[in-house]
Amino acid sequence: MRPPALTSCLLLALAARAAAAPRCTVLWIPPPSFSAWSQLDALLKDHRGLRLTVGVSEDMLNPSALRALKPWIDDGRLEAALRLDGDPLLPLIAGQAEAPRPEDPAARLAVELERWKAAAGFTPAGFAPGAGAASRELLGTLGSMGLRWAATGAYSPDAAWSSYDGVAAVPLRAVRSDSSSVAVPDLTGGPVVVDESDGLVAEGSLLRWLRSSAVSACDWSTVSKALASRSLAPAAAGSWPAWTGDLEEWTSSASAQTAWSLYGQAARLLDQYQNSGTADLKQLDEATNELYAAQANRYYRAPPQGQAAAIAAEFHSHLANIYRDLGRTPPDSLLDVAVSSAAVSADLRVEQGQGWIQFDNPDGLTLAPLGLELQGGAPPSSLWRIESLRIESSEAGETLIYTMARLDANSLFQPAPRVAPDLGRVLLETYIDLNHVQRAGSTRLLFDRGAFIQPRDAWEYALAISAWGAFLYRSRSLGSPVLVGHPGVATDADTRQVRVTIPASILSGNPATWGYVVTTADADVRTAYRPPVKPERQEDGSTILGLLAPADQQKAFLGVAPSARPPLSAARIPEF
């Protein structure tokens, strides 16, 4: 047993060391696509003194994130702050000159907070608004929702911390660092925000710094713990700007002003429809969700190098869908987006004969859910690899024949009523563009906001195939797609083929002139007993695991984070 004198000496030494170490309070804003939660878990295990506050949206709270975060939150070493999807700049949205939406902050917070709590199983400690931009009205809203603080910008050492309606405004100092810097920035001298979502620091910076000597150099604290040691004054400010002190990065450039103008036109149209007295609630909800998606702050600032076209196309697609949801034709300014992607290339072979055409897929990049293991040691990614699509025409209709790299009923891992058990967990979707006309069809995928199709390949029919059957949808200019058929599915495990015939009474024409976007996803087996089957969302927020497309397009789409993915292009015969 250690002598009392020695124990006292050790305690005094530890206390002296803690007193000598500067306080480090860090709010970490990881990118929405962040998935390396196991690395954070390992750092917390290796460094017992490490404490952090992390901002996450409901969309980021996948099972992997919760497995890593929940034990440390229960232990008091981590705390989680609510973020809204897209980190919108709420004061700009509320008071936007083009189309003010003062009701949106409270509406979005109420809905997304409830979804967040349902996903996490607990209430977030505070709120991290987009770029730290906040207002007194926003703080009042948070108080009624049970949140204790909001992270704000414009930190200065002598600034008094303030509160409004019981909610503290915690000023944070933004760290800036480019991707080439290897030095650990100063994390002391007041609460710090490490924002990897807005490009202030490169993605992965905080974990890299924590693996260096930065951990041992600090007496770590969460935001809530730092707040408990501060006295608060009544809020005098009417608003708090971004971490960097102003919002010019999102308002001053010509491209930002153009984006806000396009947003304002769509928002005004939505407001007119909402106040018309004849609004359909479902169509209104769908259009409102598209407007919320278009409020993401990344659409209004300078994009990362090489991503300008893809981000603009994504933004324009959200706005164009508002017009379509409300039965209006999108303006040309939302349709004429230049995106460099050919419909076919040399490694996506197209063959044609009397009454048939076939697309042979190259060996592209195919993903697979983490932790999935197949019997016999087969690579899990093979389940989602499409080898070819063949379309055969007859008097009965159009038969779509898919050859897969593998069919495996055992991959489902649970008994369930299934029409085509050989498909296992695979959800196979095909989007058919009949006319190659920008203003016709839909650019949205079924049940998935993580990707979209470029306007020139907008689809009129979509076929979703899974072990639970096949469902055929027709797009509409007004509202959601409508289910128009439930064709039969036939599978052959030996030939690895899936066959579906769409009756001529539903779909007719010349398949050689059509375009085809074919994707694979992991079926959400938890809800599959209530068709339509939806895709399972992966750790990085994506759903699509395989494509029928040239290898370079597959790499450009599947090899990057969902936020940087280009729009999908249709495979078609070159002359069409």
As a whole number, the mean pLDDT across the chain is 85
Whether residue 56 is found in the same domain as residue 86 = yes
* 402 within some domain: yes
**pLDDT mean over 335-350:** 57
Answer whether the bond into residue 157 is a cis peptide, omega within 30°: no
- Contact of 558 with 371, CB cutoff 8 Å: no
pLDDT for res 103: 94
* 232 within some domain: yes
Whether residue 375 is found in the same domain as residue 269 = no
Q: Which among 341, 353, 344, 385 is positioned nearest to 511, based on CA atoms?
A: 353
Residue 6 predicted with pLDDT over 80: no
Whether residue 153 is found in the same domain as residue 29 = yes
pLDDT for res 439: 60
pLDDT for res 312: 86
- Show which of 218, 246, 274 is a domain's final residue: 246
- Give 205's Cβ-side CA count (13 Å radius): 28
Whether residue 145 is found in the same domain as residue 59 = yes
pLDDT for res 15: 44
Residue 414 predicted with pLDDT over 60: yes
Return d(Cα 128, Cα 149) in angstroms, integer. Answer: 9
User: Please, which residues bridge with residue 400 across strands?
Assistant: 391, 500
Q: Look up the CATH number of the domain holding residue 25.
A: 3.20.110.10
* 342 within some domain: no
Structure tokens of 215? 């951990």
Whether residue 373 is found in the same domain as residue 419 = yes
Whether residue 478 is found in the same domain as residue 364 = yes
Question: In which domain, by residue range, is 435 found?
Answer: 349-564
**pLDDT mean over 46-54:** 93
- pLDDT per residue as tens digits for the range 149-196: 999 987 777 667 888 888 999 999 998 887 666 678 888 878 999 999
- Show which of 270, 302, 335 is a domain's final residue: 335
Report how many domains make up the chain. 3
Lowest-confidence pick of 241-245, 303-307, 545-549, 568-572? 303-307
pLDDT interval class at 309 (50, 70, 90): confident
Whether residue 190 is found in the same domain as residue 287 = no
- pLDDT per residue as tens digits for the range 457-515: 989 999 999 999 999 999 986 667 899 999 999 999 999 999 999 999 999 889 999 99
Q: Is the pTM of this model over 0.85?
A: no
Whether residue 364 is found in the same domain as residue 496 = yes
**pLDDT mean over 339-355:** 66
* 143 within some domain: yes
